[in-house]
Structure 1
């Protein structure tokens, strides 16, 4: 989809439609310098927390390479950023998802119109014909994988086959929220490009553009402060009572491993039957809590609990995707999440 609903009258731009990159100048410079050297690595793993601009950077790099296919040209050598005029024909094609030199692997709708929970092997095999074609587009072929975390095992192996024998003038931009969890064989074939959470000022500017809001909106400033460097998190917190719901979730998580079932019932009711913003706020609150625990356990070398929490985190993410994709009841998810976390933290 090209836009996602945040609040009643607010939409969020897809990364391919986002012309500007806020923060991450060091990462942008690394890509630019590698490209104009004429010896750019064929695959990059752009990693970091969710919602900080990884996919936006990937599309920005794709636009630049497809607009400037000769890395040694004067225009590339003089460039200070990867910015491309949005009115450029190539830029417009990328924005519209219509450029023959760009392939994007991401979750898609199944035959019933429901969003899949993974990127399938059949979709990933499109890379074979894409990179094997010589007639579609002259110059570079770029593949964005958004995200590597969502490749099922067969899809990951299919992608690996292409990464092992990359064609000439091919560029892979792999986005990952959890780079360490990618297949080691995929990691070994990519240049790592880690992105740090954004400064609050950059979150405000990026979220204002993404959600078509004024940067001086007080609600935006409050959401950005609570977003911990994530634009998508800030935008999520703008939706209705999302910030309060996330705070409520955090308060309950702080009581683990003991939680009052009545509070869980109330939280499940607060999530509603089909409110995606509320569900996103809940899962985001859980994700932040688990992240903090994982960092603490890692620092304290508590390896058994580290392994338990990592396994539970995977199960929660899958359950949340299923709940959203199939529009399932929220309350069973709440009880399931807190049950797994209570068991893992005892």
Structure 2
């Protein structure tokens, strides 16, 4: 019972189907060693920036565990999953009775992915553990990512983590572990992943059939992707490079031309089916303002640094209110752009 149909970026492969993982050699060695020696923690918090392979690693490790129910007979290292094995086929089709993938569900009414992992999704985990495993294998739940748990869902997961069923294993993914409940973090063993280096990023993109084309575009993608495959794909396939260029023009521009650029960018970002690039834009704006706050602090301008740091929270609040009350998206974006210009 694994839901592997989470939103997948154009040019990407779903983590459940991805047989290749680049980087994270030490993390894979740790997972294999801990499983083979019988010392695997019942809950592992796999943390690191978005798009560096956390979910792929989780599915890879789950495949390894379920393919080798006897830890002592498992391979010394985690091999690439064989898509033709029964375990792999079951995981990919969502038919595995030993693996459950919890992610933001699709709203049946709108057909869109919901904004959070709800308590109803966590109840699926309770039902999952109540069933008898037909193979006697470990029962694995991948929470992807735990950052998306709403408050009720987080509390429900916490109760299961406090008294885990026998044979249960949780692979808890997080892009921002500082935002998780401290009690959830305290019940997990932390495994930190680092962004991919330039070579690993190049290999990962080539494996997806998305090679970097050299020249200035490649340099820009490498710099702005920050070791994240998903961020690179957004830059390359979703107009991310153009979005950043337009934003830079806005924050440095003056007069009517800057105002026109603001409206053009807001039109693009508020268009239909723009959720991916909209989220990308908000992350870029937040990173931009955080960097400005850091720069001001380094120069001893503490009041300015504090104001800029608070602005990030204000932007998040604007988006939350806009979404909750279905406010005009373009006007919200124009407000955010004005705030970024004034930062």
TM over 0.5: yes
User: TM class, shorter-chain normalised?
Assistant: 0.7 to 0.9
CA shift for structure 1 position 340: 5.4
Q: Which of these residues, 8, 19, 37, is aligned with residue 4 of structure 1?
A: 8
Alignment of 1:94 with 2:96, yes or no, is: no
Distance 1:238 1:64, change over 3 A: same
CA shift for structure 1 position 164: 0.2
CA shift for structure 1 position 304: 4.6
Distance 1:225 1:306, change over 3 A: closer
CA shift for structure 1 position 292: 3.2
> Residue in 2 aligned with 1:79?
76
Q: Which of these residues, 298, 310, 313, is aligned with residue 311 of structure 1?
A: 313
* Partners of 1:301 and 1:125 in 2: CA distance: 49
* Partners of 1:127 and 1:117 in 2: CA distance: 19
Unaligned runs of 5+ in 2: none
1:292-338 deviations in Å (ceiling 9; x for gaps): 35766888896955862452364367479x59xx8x86523422433
* Partners of 2:309 and 2:25 in 1: CA distance: 34
> Residue in 1 aligned with 2:331?
332
> Residue in 2 aligned with 1:39?
39
Would you say the 8 A contact 1:107–1:118 is kept in 2? Answer: yes
Would you say the 8 A contact 1:200–1:225 is kept in 2? Answer: no
* Partners of 2:166 and 2:225 in 1: CA distance: 41
* Partners of 1:340 and 1:42 in 2: CA distance: 45
Matches for 1:57-72 after TM superposition, within 5 Å? 57-72=57-72
Would you say the 8 A contact 1:319–1:333 is kept in 2? Answer: no
Distance 1:42 1:200, change over 3 A: same
1:77-110 deviations in Å (ceiling 9; x for gaps): x422353322221012212222110011101111
Distance 1:111 1:205, change over 3 A: same
What is the Cα-based RMSD across aligned positions, in Å?
Answer: 3.2
Would you say the 8 A contact 2:139–2:169 is kept in 1? Answer: yes
Matches for 1:250-265 after TM superposition, within 5 Å? 250-253=248-251, 260-265=258-263
Matches for 1:245-324 after TM superposition, within 5 Å? 245-253=243-251, 260-271=258-269, 273-274=271-272, 276=274, 278-293=277-292, 304-305=306-307, 308-309=310-311, 311-312=313-314, 314-315=316-317, 318=320, 322=323
TM-score w.r.t. the length of structure 2 is 0.83
CA shift for structure 1 position 221: 3.6
Q: In structure 2, the residue corresponding to 1:45 is in which secondary structure?
A: strand
1:127-170 deviations in Å (ceiling 9; x for gaps): 11212222455211000001111100000000000000112221
Unaligned runs of 5+ in 1: none
* Partners of 1:269 and 1:304 in 2: CA distance: 31
* Partners of 1:249 and 1:32 in 2: CA distance: 44
1:29-50 deviations in Å (ceiling 9; x for gaps): 1211111110211111111111
Q: In structure 2, the residue corresponding to 1:125 is in which secondary structure?
A: helix
Q: Which of these residues, 150, 153, 156, is aligned with residue 151 of structure 2?
A: 153
Q: In structure 1, the residue corresponding to 2:12 is in which secondary structure?
A: strand
Would you say the 8 A contact 2:69–2:137 is kept in 1? Answer: yes
* Partners of 2:319 and 2:140 in 1: CA distance: 29
* Partners of 2:294 and 2:37 in 1: CA distance: 37
CA shift for structure 1 position 235: 0.7
Distance 1:165 1:196, change over 3 A: same
Q: In structure 2, the residue corresponding to 1:15 is in which secondary structure?
A: coil
Q: In structure 1, the residue corresponding to 2:71 is in which secondary structure?
A: coil
Q: In structure 1, the residue corresponding to 2:250 is in which secondary structure?
A: helix
Would you say the 8 A contact 2:9–2:230 is kept in 1? Answer: no
Would you say the 8 A contact 1:233–1:284 is kept in 2? Answer: no
> Residue in 1 aligned with 2:166?
168
